[in-house]
Amino acid sequence: MTRPPPLTDAELSAEALRLERSKKYKDLAPETIADVLQQENRPGAAKAKVLANARLRLHRVAAHYLGLPKFNKAQAALTAAFASGEDPQIEAACRSVLETHSSTQERLPHLRDIFDQLFQRVGMPESVLDLACAVQPLAWRFTGLPRSTMYTAVDISQQFIDLIRCYFQLEKLPHQVLRQDVFVSPVTQPVDLALLWKMYHCLEQRREGAGLRVVETTAAKAMAISFPTRSLAGKRMRFHEKHGPTLIAAAERHRWRLQTFEAPGELFHLIQKPEWETPR
């Protein structure tokens, strides 16, 4: 039996456009869709199989099953809360968004302690880069970060990016929001502290080596990489057992300083890169 040829560039572009316009994937960065299609276009795979595999991988990359806020309602609630000028109302509006996503819902009670652990080890950052952030930037009020910190938030989802931009504008914080795939288009601007939270294992699931590549290409003096250690339902998760050794070996190879600490449900590796410690 003859093996089907891979899809041509023209076929790949046409399929990418179809996915970009589809209800399910129109929220995602086009570069993510193109990259996933390209990756699934393996020699010998039939077109139907390439497309089915790409859709499955995009479903995992988007991870909507972790929870999505009702975006319009969330923006309206934030706008009303800021108009009231009342801190408790603003914090309640932020909390209600944070509780729609399982990562932030689980982390919220421990967030101040997590940031205090980071500040103790690396000092107060003047700039933060939140990679694949989902709704985490809306937790700014619960982090202890000063108003002067430049906060850059990056995600492939247009809806998350719009919500975060709305929040930062209402909060009047120095900020930058980027709809960008951190693997396809690494963010190379130098920062004091980068966060790659509950994402390393997802990047490795998408493509072997992708998590480490993001860590290596991020120009951060310090980078906090986290792994979930149990689900909201209390089930033990073993992502760190699987991926931690590669990260630890890379830290040794690159001579990065590595410190580890845990919060309930989440393990953090904090790396400090000597090559980014010189004045820029």
Ligand X SMILES: C[S@@+](CC[C@H](N)C(=O)[O-])C[C@H]1O[C@@H](n2cnc3c(N)ncnc32)[C@H](O)[C@@H]1O
Contact between 155 and ligand X per CB under 6 A: yes
Both tokens of 186, joined, read 């690494």
DSSP one-letter code for 141: G
Question: Using CA atoms, how far apart are residues 101 and 97, in angstroms rounded to an integer?
Answer: 8
Give me the least distance between CB of 154 and ligand X, in Å please: 6
Contact between 182 and ligand X per CB under 6 A: yes
Contact between 143 and ligand X per CB under 6 A: no
Q: Which of 190, 169, 185 is nearest to 177 (CA)?
A: 169
Contact segment (CB under 6 A) with ligand X among 36-44, 110-118, 145-153, 195-203 equals 195-203
Contact between 156 and ligand X per CB under 6 A: yes
Residue 233's identity, in one-letter code, is A
Taking the least distance from each CB to ligand X, the nearer of 61 and 191 is 61
Q: From the list 81, 94, 154, 270, which residue makes contact with ligand X (rule: CB under 6 A)?
A: 154
Both tokens of 46, joined, read 């039939």
Question: Using CA atoms, how far apart are residues 266 and 252, in angstroms rounded to an integer?
Answer: 22
Residue 80's identity, in one-letter code, is A
Give me the least distance between CB of 278 and ligand X, in Å please: 28
Taking the least distance from each CB to ligand X, the nearer of 140 and 197 is 197
Contact between 197 and ligand X per CB under 6 A: yes
DSSP one-letter code for 274: G
Q: From the list 104, 149, 152, 272, which residue makes contact with ligand X (rule: CB under 6 A)?
A: 104
Q: Which of 118, 67, 70 is nearest to 93 (CA)?
A: 70
Contact between 58 and ligand X per CB under 6 A: no
Contact between 61 and ligand X per CB under 6 A: yes
Taking the least distance from each CB to ligand X, the nearer of 81 and 154 is 154
Contact between 66 and ligand X per CB under 6 A: yes
Q: Which residue has the tokens 């101040």?
A: 112
Say whether 16 sits in a helix, a strand or coil.
helix
Q: Considering only residues 76-95, where is the footprint of ligand X by CB under 6 A?
A: none
| Residues 16, 34 contacting (CB under 8 angstroms) | yes
Q: Which of 215, 53, 130, 87 is nearest to 95 (CA)?
A: 87
Q: Count of residues binding ligand X (CB under 6 A)? A: 22
Give residues in contact with ligand X (CB under 6 A). 61-63, 66, 103-104, 132-134, 136, 154-157, 160, 181-183, 197-199, 202
